[in-house]
Amino acid sequence: MPIFDFLVGQFIDVIHWTDDTRDTMVWRFEREGHEIKYGAKLTVREGQSAVFVHEGQLADVFTPGLYMLETNNMPIMTSLQHWDHGFKSPFKSEIYFVNTTRFNDLKWGTKNPIMMRDPEFGPVRIRAFGTYTIRVTDPALFMTEIVGTDGEFTTDEISYQIRNIIVQEFSKAIAKSGIPVLDMAANTGEVGKLIADAISPTIAAYGISVPEFYIENISLPPAVEKALDDRTSRGIAGNLDDHMKWKAAEAMGAGGAAGDAMGMGMGAAMGLQMAGQMMGGGQQQAQQPGPWGSAAAPVAPPPPPVEHVWHIAENGATNGPFSKARLAEMAGNGQLTRETYVWTQGQDGWMKAEDVRELAQLFTVMPPPPPPGI
């Protein structure tokens, strides 16, 4: 905490300040009604500045060093008081020590979500938080613009204002950056530099700077994050049929009531399948011509093929599903063209409709567009 010594009597002979609070930016030297002795020793340590305020006016500013308070090193005070060269009387003045070291690990964050337009997802809301560092670069300006007559000024008294400036500039920087949401984690350094450069002019008007600025996290709303997780899970699952078989085998291997129930279900399904195969075998034997050339009953036809349903991509959005019959109607009225991208289950990515064998026949009734120049 602050340390200061008094000369026995009414005059202050030694002026200095030590601090271990780690958050005090400005501390006023307490005179307690005493006058400062002419020629008193002023000690300003590294990472400090001493600002004299005389009768409400900002006077001399002392950088780190040891000073004898005399007229030759107090030019502004001498001018304010019209001291002559032989002046050696005690004087009254307020002395403020300003901490010019860095104040680290200050927090910032978006109180409300910020709306931005993402090239892939469209309008989305994001939140962000991180840390920053501040430092007093102009003690006199800082005293004039921010501190005033506050006898003990801490970082808490200015951090809220700086957070507001950061959030405002963060919103602007994110909107102008054009960086997709999914790529922001890899570009936090670039975004942080944009924000630090944007807030520097406003912060400099207070006599301080932001040497370091960090973005720790940029997050999406829970609903959007869940949708992304589902999308990732679908990609990892791959073929849904193989995925369901694997999940069934995993449940059977897990044991317990769930495993037993799954095992009974699988056993019943396998039993029905075997029974069907046996019945099919009997029917095949019955259909074979007998030794007397008698004809057997006709073979049952195979099950009808599963009709695909299709999705189409239009203007960055996915529509569907549509049946093949519906796509034929759309091809007839021009809603579906050869260049339209389509997808169905089991297809490896999006393809043009004319490149899909099952859909290419929809366009045979209409000739393709003529080549250029004809």
Distance CA 161, CA 199 (A): 12
| pLDDT at residue number 277 | 58
Tokens linked to 220: 């999406």
Kindly report, residue by residue over 134-162, the tens digit of the pLDDT: 999 999 999 999 988 888 999 999 998 99
Least confident among 50-59, 119-128, 267-276, 288-297: 288-297
* Cα radius of gyration (the chain): 40
Q: Parallel, antiparallel, or unpaired for β 24-29 and 35-44?
A: unpaired
Start-to-end C-alpha separation, the chain: 91
| pLDDT at residue number 200 | 92
| pLDDT at residue number 5 | 46
Least confident among 41-45, 121-125, 164-168, 227-231: 227-231
Distance CA 131, CA 106 (A): 5
Q: What is the average per-residue pLDDT within 240-266?
A: 61
Question: Does residue 316 register a pLDDT over 50?
Answer: yes
Q: Which residue has the tokens 């901490």?
A: 99
Distance CA 300, CA 9 (A): 120
DSSP code for 284: H
Question: Does residue 6 register a pLDDT over 50?
Answer: no
φ/ψ of residue 57, rounded to 5: -110, 140
pLDDT range class, residue 22, cuts 50, 70, 90: confident
Domains and CATH numbers, the chain: 11-99 (no CATH), 103-224 (3.30.479.30), 310-363 (3.30.1490)
Give alpha helix (H) positions in 28-155. Answer: 75-81, 139-142
Of residues 166 and 77, the one with the higher pLDDT is 166
* Phi-psi sector, 334: left (phi>0), alpha (psi -120 to 50), beta: left
Question: Does residue 244 register a pLDDT over 60?
Answer: yes
Distance CA 90, CA 50 (A): 19
Q: Parallel, antiparallel, or unpaired for β 310-314 and 341-343?
A: antiparallel
Instruction: Indicate the pTM of the whole model.
Output: 0.56
| pLDDT at residue number 48 | 94
Tokens linked to 295: 């004809």
Beta partners for residue 153, in sequence order: 26
Residues in contact with 362: Cβ distance below 8 Å, sequence separation at least 6, in sequence order: 327, 328, 331, 336, 353
